[in-house]
């Protein structure tokens, strides 16, 4: 089955620790995205990558970092600088380019709780 | 600045009734308007989408109505069923056909359909 796999599904972290969320896709999509979801806030864009070895900040990038070394992988690191990291994190991908699909395909999400 | 405003925040409908969710936008450069459906603990999934040159699109029990002059669009769910209970997000896309694609979400509507 083609899709997006996010891991872990649940993660607990102590304050001051960095944590990395995994996102892998086998859809051969060019573009990948990370969103943060909080109750009543909708989905807010953290980072996105249109192509391997390139990525851009979204609307709420502070306290986060990403890498895009492989087309199928786009890990997100939540650093200790992120003041309020407890949230539901969603990874998405899109075919990209002028002929690409106009919509995003989402993974099942990772729920991070800071203790 | 909230570019896509969604209402209501929550909605309760009886089985068989019509559910209506409204969205408004400011940026006339948006060129694609998808709706996503999200069940608890899952990632959002595309439900239906419309381009601004079309006033209505129907897929089964789901219809998007689009008013370009008013910069408003809405989702209508006919014959609402308990299985439709979920959070619905409207969204608007910039540069849907290009490499500088950006999707902005509304804050979501929690729909509950009572049996």
User: pLDDT tens digits, residue range A4-27?
Assistant: 999 999 999 988 899 999 999 999
* B14 in contact with A, Cβ within 8 Å: no
Q: Cβ(B88)–Cβ(B36) under 8 Å?
A: yes
User: pLDDT tens digits, residue range B14-38?
Assistant: 999 999 999 999 999 998 999 999 9
User: pLDDT tens digits, residue range A19-72?
Assistant: 999 999 999 998 999 999 998 888 999 999 999 999 999 999 999 999 999 999
Q: Reduce the DSSP state of residue B84 to 3 states and report it.
A: helix
The first and second tokens of residue B88, run together, are 């619905």
Interchain proximity B43–A107, CB inside 8 Å: yes
Q: Reduce the DSSP state of residue A41 to 3 states and report it.
A: coil
Burial of B23 (C-beta count, 10 Å sphere; 0-12/13-18/19+): buried
Q: Cβ(B73)–Cβ(B10) under 8 Å?
A: no
Q: Reduce the DSSP state of residue A97 to 3 states and report it.
A: coil
> Measured on CA atoms in the order A39, A58, B42, B82, is the torsion positive or negative?
positive
Q: How far apart are CA B25 and CA A62, in angstroms?
A: 26
Nearest neighbour of B96 by CB, restricted to A102, A106, A109: A102
Q: Reduce the DSSP state of residue B106 to 3 states and report it.
A: coil
DSSP state of A26: -
């Amino acid at each position: 089955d083609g899709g997006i796999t996010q891991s872990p599904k649940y993660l607990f972290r102590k304050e001051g620790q960095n944590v990395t969320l995994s996102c892998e896709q086998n859809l051969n999509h060019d573009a990948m995205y990370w969103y943060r979801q909080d109750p009543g806030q909708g989905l807010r864009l953290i980072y996105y990558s249109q192509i391997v070895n390139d990525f851009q900040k979204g609307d709420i990038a502070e306290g986060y970092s990403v890498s895009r070394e492989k087309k199928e992988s786009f890990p997100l690191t939540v650093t200790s600088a992120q003041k309020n990291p407890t949230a539901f994190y969603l990874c998405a991908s899109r075919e990209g380019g002028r002929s690409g699909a106009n919509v995003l395909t989402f993974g099942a999400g990772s729920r991070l709780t800071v203790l | 600045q909230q570019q896509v405003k969604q209402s209501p925040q929550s909605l309760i409908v009886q089985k068989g009734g019509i559910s209506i969710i409204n969205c408004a936008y400011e940026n006339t450069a948006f060129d694609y308007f998808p709706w996503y459906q999200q069940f608890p603990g899952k990632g959002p999934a595309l439900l239906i989408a419309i381009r601004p040159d079309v006033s209505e699109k129907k897929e089964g029990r789901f219809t998007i109505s689009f008013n370009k002059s008013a910069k408003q669009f809405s989702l209508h769910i006919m014959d609402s069923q308990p299985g439709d209970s979920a959070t619905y997000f409207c969204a608007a896309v910039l540069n849907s056909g290009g490499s500088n694609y950006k999707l902005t979400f509304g804050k979501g509507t929690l729909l509950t359909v009572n049996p």
